[in-house]
Amino acid sequence: MAAQRRFQTVKGMHDLGGWKASAFVFVEEKAREVFSLYGYDEVRTPIVEETELFVRGVGEGSEIVGKQMYTFDDKKGRSLTLRPEGTAPVARAYLQNNWASGPQPVKVFYMGPYFRYERPQEGRYRQFHQIGAELIGDPGPYSDVELLVMLVRFLQELGFEDLEVGLNSVGDVECRKRYSQRLREYLAPYRDELGADSRRRLETNPLRILDTKAPRERELLENAPRLFDDLGGRAHDHFQEVREQLVQADVAHRIEDKLVRGLDYYTRTVFEITSTALGAQNAILGGGRYDGLIAELGGPSVPGIGFAIGQDRLVDLVLKIPGARQRLNAEAHRRRPVCVIPIGGSYRRHGMELAQELRAAGIPAICEFDSLRPLKARLKQAARHDCRWVVLFGEEEEKNREVVLRDFQDRSQETIPRDGFAAAVAAKIRPDEQP
């Protein structure tokens, strides 16, 4: 016989429980609440898509497509990929379901797992989770601003106070081409001082050199031509209007002229929020405008803008906010169950019935069925389940047609009539919610 091996999650993927799970649900509920206030509807797209969707949508030159995708062939030899990001699938859904024929602009949000094959570290996992939103069909700039206002509102509702949006414009396709050439010319004399990655990007995608972390490269870039100066008239006006309206809307932001993003589809407005409390993987969220994406996927020329929030990182931050655990705790507290303990083996069926009556009255209830164990051990279990109230039922209670309701908090207990006991328990444990 082969020795039993111990199974565990695959690298970079984790079970979520306890505080983490509560916080995950908390931010998800808050996202639904806030985003729907702004007219967004939830969509769920499949976790698996055709590989080609991401190659075309995200861009062949991007890191994601280049080396981070979970790609496999199905039984018919079709190349499929576990989604590495959310915008391309939504763009695909827009075209496939002809959302263009519905009310415009289209506003959707979504949340769920995403997959990228990278070496895991703090805040970076192979299965991670994003909450995102897309606004398709309006060229802005007011849509850009409204989207950011919603985002900031969401973060404030979660309890964040001092987060600042980093903002930039990467321009339209033509400005980018023009600027790329100028940057290439500027950096050419320093070619030998660039790292291998940046040298390669000099050919493939000079913009990406801007957000380098190498100290020497940053030095060189200080005197480099600025992307902002190469913005074409319309992209320039768009950016100005966005900035102005953000000020009007009281959205704290700062211009980061070296902010470029890793996905090829971005145009004009790009933004991100980072936090120093997160370690090396400090981006909480990122997004931007993608006016060429729908067309790139074979559709009409329709503009769009969206963002993706790193839910895992966001949750880490939420749990660091003073008082956050108490808030989550209060929620859990409201749901802590009543524990029913039938005393004696022949009363287990009664225990089940009592628990059912409590649940029918809207009270969370568990039943401690293991009647062979000593009562004290079973009470201990109830305490470990974080129960405050215990309902006891045995021979004596059956004879008197009553139940015993014990309050762990002050160690008091009372007997109440068996008939209609659930209503009495409800009145006792939730006096403020009674009609």
Partner RNA sequence: GUGGAUGUAGCUCAACUGGCAGAGCGCUUGAUUGUGGUUCAAGUGGUUGGGGGUUCAAGUCCCCUCAUCCACCCCA
Catalog residues that contact RNA under the rule CB under 7 A.
3-4, 8-12, 14, 62-64, 68, 85, 116, 118-125, 128, 130, 197, 208, 211-214, 261-263, 272, 279-286, 308-310, 312-313, 343, 373-377, 379-381, 383-384, 392, 394-397, 404, 406, 408-411, 413
CA neighbor of 165 nearest in space, from 242, 226, 236: 242
Q: How far is the CB of 414 from RNA (least distance, A)?
A: 10
Nearer CB in complex with RNA: 314/422:
314
Nearer CB in complex with RNA: 278/365:
278
Q: How far is the CB of 314 from RNA (least distance, A)?
A: 7
CA–CA–CA angle 403, 407, 408 (5° rounding)? 130
Could you give the CA distance from residue 198 to residue 190 in angstroms, rounded to a whole number? 11
In 43-171, at which residue ranges do the beta strands (DSSP E only) sit? 48-50, 70-73, 79-82, 106-115, 127-136, 165-169
CA–CA–CA angle 371, 406, 415 (5° rounding)? 95
Q: How far is the CB of 237 from RNA (least distance, A)?
A: 26
Tell me the β-bridge partners of 71. 81
Nearer CB in complex with RNA: 135/245:
135
20: how many CB neighbours lie within 10 A of its CB?
15
Q: How far is the CB of 291 from RNA (least distance, A)?
A: 17
Q: How far is the CB of 205 from RNA (least distance, A)?
A: 9
CA–CA–CA angle 29, 124, 264 (5° rounding)? 90
Nearer CB in complex with RNA: 245/368:
368
Nearer CB in complex with RNA: 281/356:
281
Nearer CB in complex with RNA: 241/398:
398
Nearer CB in complex with RNA: 78/216:
216
Q: How far is the CB of 52 from RNA (least distance, A)?
A: 20
Nearer CB in complex with RNA: 245/342:
342
- The DSSP code sequence of 243-277 is HHHHHHTT--EEE-TT---SSTT-EEEEEEEE-GG
Q: How far is the CB of 435 from RNA (least distance, A)?
A: 30
Who contacts 67 (Cβ-Cβ below 8 Å, separation ≥6)?
Answer: 117
Q: How far is the CB of 302 from RNA (least distance, A)?
A: 21
CA neighbor of 304 nearest in space, from 334, 338, 343, 263: 263
Helix 324-334 with 18-37: angle, nearest 10 deg: 90
SS3 at position 357: helix
